Structure 1
């Protein structure tokens, strides 16, 4: 049976419960810090920002996969943007937080004026970067500032390549990003009591279309590919053509292609150098050795010209040593370039193996050509001895030219000599019989007769008895 008192008590309980439920959301919201949150579900990347309304502090909560480096920056483009770049520490157990500024569309450099204090809970947890930090002076920086009144402040983010970067240095070299994007963040919604935001998987005060742009470092890739094609494909092919083909034009043509590939590779390398802090000043071992390699390349290119090669007999003999020196310098330059670009160990080992194989192959070919002479030289009657710089005697050259003009080869000349020598023997026998038979010729005895002299020196009169 329903009783009034009981019904009244139950009504009061329901009313109290409704009141509590009504107050609870406002209480929770009052306790939650003011923050704007950016979140990417594909990578579970979160960047939350809190701007203190009673100080200049800026609190951040930043998480992302710890496979390489990841960055978030204040600005519409890289130029003049303040960025927070995260990458693993040297031991791989902690996270390095590097505040950086970009002066253009290039690798940002560490900014010493930005003071970032990491709080407890920062580190690598379950293969994820976790950063809880407070920045003391992040609102103003060189050529830029954080507009705390902007409800749609432009922001950028980027992800590095898959290879692992581990360093304690705040200015560690970064490889070019593979993905990047833009979003806007409401700074007014992020302003409130100073407190580090918590983990969240929901966008708050952020506009993001969900698109990430895939980036390609095509210029640097073309620089490496063209250089490798010139060294490991065209170079040994050119040596084979020079040693075993009789067409000197093919050798010259391939040499021109090698020179063109190297020129383009140098130009691309110079253009790429401006994108990275480690190469902007052109003082790295890779760049220094590359510039030193230009000297033998230029000498190889100009020495074959007749006006230059005829200046001294030693100049043509410099070709082979210069070719070997240039190949060695360029191979070493390529290896240092892989180190400069922070390539992975398997790529460096593969390059080393290919470089050693090509170098040994080219050296063996050049040794073989030096001993036997090139096909073009043998076709034109030039021996390996002359290729080494030992010129034939002038009289020998004259006799060779004279024999060619008379149509005499070694076999024919030997036959004529034997016949003439036989005539001399007949004359000797006639002379021994008392100089009878008026057809006897001078030249009896063991020397060839005048008929042989006639063959050798046309026009010389032959005297008879």
Structure 2
């Protein structure tokens, strides 16, 4: 019997060693995780690097009230890999989009990076996006693609979008400029281990080996002041300066052309001033970098035609004044040129009114704001049309009166 027990001892020992190894393996898997905590946005990002593999396992928990949540590997957006996450089209899951960034511009989806979305990826009852995914071969993307550091102080970036809805299954969906962003380092050397990312019963990351908290001072609020400046200046031009210049030209242009010159100069200066931030904003987004959207095409066309009309008006004024100094009537063709100047200027105003609305649509402004602008623009047009008509009637009446006065003087002589 004793000899039989001795024969069985190695078997029990093997089972004991196997159980201990399994427990150690499970413990290693649960602790081979590095986490980034962002308390101000209630976001947790956990990363695991499986050994003998170029994959990256990651887990993200973040509120769904942002347009997107993103993290990236690197100390700056230039030549970096970004992982952008946003709600799917049905609002029940999460779209995980790998994107490459070339600078402080909108990152672009790349088909060269594959992310496998694993079980557990969902939007839960608390409206939190839960992402459990694997970035395949992301530690060896190849030449021409970003390299990812896995050191004890690996740089990592974080950003959230504005409070807007983005429900899309499109990996290349448009995203707005981030509302907040930050950069820190993460100890990824302790994230190397098998087993992926283990969660406890509450769905939290179990015993991470390393944890970094993004401090409030390192999370920077951001906005798009150039876009706001562009929109506000163009709205002022379309709703105030353009109609004011038309009123001045109609009521005072013939008697005091210098006043019209001042109003036209102010009008043109505001248009150029509004164009500059618009060009800066266009460089930040993929859709607008080629200047092919209707808003950009109409805007550039309007500026060019307006510059021509601005010089045209000064040339007509100079010709008229020169003729009067010589005691002569202006050349006959100036009437036609003046009529062209007036009607093209009115067309420019209409294009400005329409283009501000197109710009609001392009920037995905809220429907209430778009409707408010449309109502305001329509109100300005409805009010000013009868005013323009009255000015036109008064000028016509004055012309007839002046002609009758000249005929009376001629008959008297």
How far is the alpha carbon of 1:147 from its aligned partner?
2.0
What residue in structure 1 maps to residue 171 of structure 2?
170
The answer to whether the aligner puts 1:363 opposite 2:365 as a matched pair is no
Matched residue pairs, number? 368
- Conserved 8 A contact 1:106-1:275: yes
How far is the alpha carbon of 1:29 from its aligned partner?
3.1
Distance 1:137 1:28 in 2: 24
**Aligned with 1:120: secondary structure?**
coil
**Aligned with 2:97: secondary structure?**
strand
How far is the alpha carbon of 1:197 from its aligned partner?
4.2
Task: Please list, as runs of the form range in 1=range in 2, the aligned pairs for 1:64-463 lying within 5 A after superposition.
Answer: 64-67=62-65, 68-125=67-124, 126-141=126-141, 142-148=144-150, 150-198=151-199, 199-200=204-205, 204-206=210-212, 208-210=214-216, 211-243=218-250, 247-304=256-313, 305-306=315-316, 310=331, 311-373=333-395, 382-383=399-400, 397=406, 400=409
- Conserved 8 A contact 2:31-2:206: no
- Conserved 8 A contact 1:53-1:194: no
**Aligned with 2:336: secondary structure?**
coil
RMSD: 2.8
How far is the alpha carbon of 1:110 from its aligned partner?
0.2
CA deviations 1:1-51 (Å, max 9, x no partner) are xxxxxxxxxxxxxxxxxxxxxx9x978733515110011223220100000
**Aligned with 2:84: secondary structure?**
strand
Gaps of 5+ in 1: 1-22, 387-391, 404-455, 458-465
**Aligned with 1:93: secondary structure?**
coil
Q: 1:89 to 1:197 in 2, by over 3 A?
A: same
Distance 1:249 1:312 in 2: 18
What residue in structure 2 maps to residue 17 of structure 1?
none
**Aligned with 2:350: secondary structure?**
helix
Distance 2:85 2:153 in 1: 24
**Which of 18, 29, 32 in structure 1 is aligned with 2:30?**
32
Q: 1:373 to 1:93 in 2, by over 3 A?
A: farther
- Conserved 8 A contact 2:272-2:303: no
Q: 1:201 to 1:159 in 2, by over 3 A?
A: farther
How far is the alpha carbon of 1:242 from its aligned partner?
4.2
What residue in structure 2 maps to residue 5 of structure 1?
none
Distance 2:408 2:305 in 1: 40
CA deviations 1:385-439 (Å, max 9, x no partner) are x9xxxxx59xx74654x69xxxxxxxxxxxxxxxxxxxxxxxxxxxxxxxxxxxx
- Conserved 8 A contact 2:271-2:303: no
CA deviations 1:300-351 (Å, max 9, x no partner) are 3123223567554311112332122111111111111111112121121112
Distance 2:116 2:233 in 1: 46
* Larger helix proportion of the pair: 2
How far is the alpha carbon of 1:171 from its aligned partner?
1.0
TM-score computed with the length of structure 1 as normaliser = 0.73
How far is the alpha carbon of 1:233 from its aligned partner?
1.9
How far is the alpha carbon of 1:195 from its aligned partner?
1.1
Distance 2:348 2:80 in 1: 43
What residue in structure 1 maps to residue 46 of structure 2?
48
- Conserved 8 A contact 2:33-2:191: yes
Distance 2:288 2:230 in 1: 14
- Conserved 8 A contact 1:154-1:182: yes
**Aligned with 1:348: secondary structure?**
helix
Using the TM superposition, name which of 252-261 and 135-144 deviates more. 135-144
